[in-house]
Amino acid sequence: MKPDIETRKDLFLLLEKFYDQLLKDATISYIFTDVAKIDMQQHLPIIVDFWEMVLFGAQTYKKNAIQPHLNLNQKSKFEKHHFNTWLETFDKTVDGLFEGKNAFAAKQKAKSIATIMQIKIAQLK
């Protein structure tokens, strides 16, 4: 039996593996590398802060998660397949490492985040 996601260390592991896989996918990696030009070493702790807030209610994330993505969408349009790839990769990564109540909740939250992001982007059109 796999462990559940229970700590910040678990989130680091999950998100490090997730982005490692995502950045290998040419259909989406260019958004991170060419458009956003993200340094994952610097950005990973911020993403962990976000997920720690989302999953555990921690007060670690103090930024606006949506606006930077809306700004990126202005530079390079996000398409449905981007969200599908993001969600499929996230779910596979969670399932490969964890199982349990929090693992299930993380996948559900990811679906909600992707849905909200798509709605916000559609409102800009």
- Which domain range does residue 12 map to? 8-123
Q: How confident is the model at residue 125 (pLDDT cuts 50, 70, 90)?
A: low
Are 14 and 81 within 8 A, CB to CB? no
Which helix H or strand E contains 31, and what residues bound it?
none
Cα end-to-end distance, the chain, whole Å = 46
Residue range 42-62, pLDDT digits in tens: 999 999 999 999 999 999 998
Q: How confident is the model at residue 124 (pLDDT cuts 50, 70, 90)?
A: confident
Cβ 54 vs Cβ 112: under 8 Å:
no
In a domain? residue 111: yes
Residue 2 lies in a domain: no
Alpha carbon distance 120, 90 (integer Å): 21
Q: Is residue 74 part of a domain?
A: yes
Task: Copy the structure tokens of residue 16.
Answer: 């490090």
pTM confidence score? 0.95
Q: Identify whether 62 is part of a domain.
A: yes
Residue 35 belongs to a domain with what CATH number?
1.10.490.10
pLDDT of residue 89: 98
In a domain, residue 3? The reply is no
What's the number of domains the chain is made of? 1
Query: DSSP class of residue 2?
Result: P
